Amino acid sequence: MKTFIFTTIAFIGLTLATWAQQQPTDSLEGSKVVLDEVFVSAVRVTKEAPVTFSNLTKEDIKPRNLGQDIPILMNFLPSVVTTSDAGAGVGYTGIRVRGSDATRVNVTINGIPYNDAESQGTFWVNMPDFASSTESLQLQRGVGTSTNGAGAFGASLNLLTDGFSENAYGQISSSVGSFKTLRNNIKFSTGLLNDHVEISGRLSRITSDGYVDRATSDLDSYFLQGVYKDDNTLIKALLFGGHEITYQSWYGVDAATLETDRTFNPSGIYTDENGNIQFYENEVDNYKQDHAQLLWNEQVSEYWSTNLALHYTRGRGYFEQFREDDDFVTYGFEPLIVDGEEVNTTDLIRRRWLDNDFYGTVFSANYRKDKLSLILGGGWNKYEGDHFGEVIWARFASNSDIGDRYYDDTSTKTDFNLYIKANYQLNEHWSLYGDLQYRTVGYNANGEETGLVDDTFNFFNPKAGVTYDLNRNNNFYFSYAVANREPNRNDYESGNPRPERLNDFELGWRYISPDVQVNTNVYYMNYKDQLVLTGELNDVGAPLRANVGDSYRLGLEVDASISFNEKFSLKPNIALSSNKNKDFIFQRDGVLRELGNTNIAYSPEVIIGNILTYSPTEVFQISLLSKYVGKQYMGNIDAESSVLDAYSQTDLNVQYELKCNGFLKSIVFSGLVNNLFDAEFESNGYFFTFDDDFSNPGTITTIEGAGYYPQAGINFLLGATVNF
* Res 22 pLDDT > 60: no
Q: Which pLDDT value is given to residue 21?
A: 40
Domains of the chain, by residue range, sit at 2-723
Distances from the Cα of 188 to the Cα of 163, 202, 274, 507, angstroms: 13, 7, 55, 44
Pairing of strands 134-141, 93-97: unpaired
Mean pLDDT of 343-348: 94
Cα–Cα distance, 382 to 360 (Å, whole number): 6
* Res 576 pLDDT > 70: yes
Higher per-residue pLDDT: 155 or 698: 155
Percent with pLDDT over 70 in the chain: 94
232: left (phi over 0), alpha (psi -120 to 50) or beta: alpha
3-state SS class at 60: helix
Task: Assign 697 a pLDDT band (cuts: 50, 70, 90).
Answer: low
Mean pLDDT of 539-543: 84
Written as one letter, the residue type at 228 is Y
Percent with pLDDT over 90 in the chain: 82
* Res 1 pLDDT > 50: no
Q: Which pLDDT value is given to residue 4?
A: 36
Percent helix, strand and coil across the chain, each rounded to 5?
10, 60, 30
Higher per-residue pLDDT: 31 or 500: 500
DSSP secondary structure code for residue 35 in this structure: G
Cα–Cα distance, 435 to 414 (Å, whole number): 22
Task: Assign 3 a pLDDT band (cuts: 50, 70, 90).
Answer: very low
Q: Is the CA virtual torsion 272, 278, 281, 287 positive or negative? A: positive
3-state SS class at 168: coil
Instruction: Determine contact, residues 247/156, Cβ cutoff 8 Å.
Output: no
Task: Assign 569 a pLDDT band (cuts: 50, 70, 90).
Answer: very high
* Res 5 pLDDT > 90: no
Higher per-residue pLDDT: 394 or 151: 394
Phi, psi of 565 (to 5 degrees): -165, -165
Cα–Cα distance, 456 to 112 (Å, whole number): 22
Q: Which pLDDT value is given to residue 15?
A: 38
270-318 pLDDT, tens digit each:
998 889 999 999 999 999 999 999 999 999 999 999 999 999 999 999 9
> Tell me: domain 2-723, CATH 2.40.170.20, correct?
yes
Q: Which pLDDT value is given to residue 662?
A: 84
Please count the other Cβ atoms lying within 10 Å of the Cβ belonging to residue 692.
12
Q: Which pLDDT value is given to residue 35?
A: 55
Q: What is the CA radius of gyration of the chain?
A: 26
User: In angstroms, how far is CA 468 from the centroid of its own chain?
Assistant: 33
Q: What is the mean pLDDT of the chain?
A: 91
Q: Which pLDDT value is given to residue 701?
A: 82
Cα–Cα distance, 569 to 588 (Å, whole number): 52
Nearest one of 543, 628, 532 to 580, comparing CA atoms:
532
The continuous run of DSSP H or E covering 383 comes out as: strand 372-394
Task: Assign 456 a pLDDT band (cuts: 50, 70, 90).
Answer: very high
Q: Which pLDDT value is given to residue 698?
A: 64
55-84 pLDDT, tens digit each:
999 999 999 999 999 999 999 999 999 999
196-235 pLDDT, tens digit each:
999 999 999 999 999 999 999 999 999 999 999 998 999 9
Q: Which pLDDT value is given to residue 28?
A: 26
Q: Is the CA virtual torsion 48, 50, 51, 54 positive or negative? A: positive
386-441 pLDDT, tens digit each:
999 999 999 998 888 888 899 999 999 999 999 999 999 999 999 999 999 999 99
* Res 694 pLDDT > 80: no
* Res 164 pLDDT > 50: yes
* Res 25 pLDDT > 60: no
Q: Which pLDDT value is given to residue 13?
A: 40
Cα–Cα distance, 48 to 178 (Å, whole number): 44
Task: Assign 23 a pLDDT band (cuts: 50, 70, 90).
Answer: very low
37-41, 431-435, 650-654, 704-708: the lowest-pLDDT one:
37-41
The 3 state secondary structure assigned to 70-117 is HHHHCCCCCCEEEEECCCCCCCCEEEEECCECHHHEEEEECCEECCCC
Cα–Cα distance, 270 to 223 (Å, whole number): 40
Task: Assign 663 a pLDDT band (cuts: 50, 70, 90).
Answer: confident
Q: Which pLDDT value is given to residue 587?
A: 87
Task: Assign 2 a pLDDT band (cuts: 50, 70, 90).
Answer: very low
Say what the alpha-carbon torsion angle 154, 297, 48, 577 is, to the nearest 10 degrees: 10
* Res 520 pLDDT > 70: yes
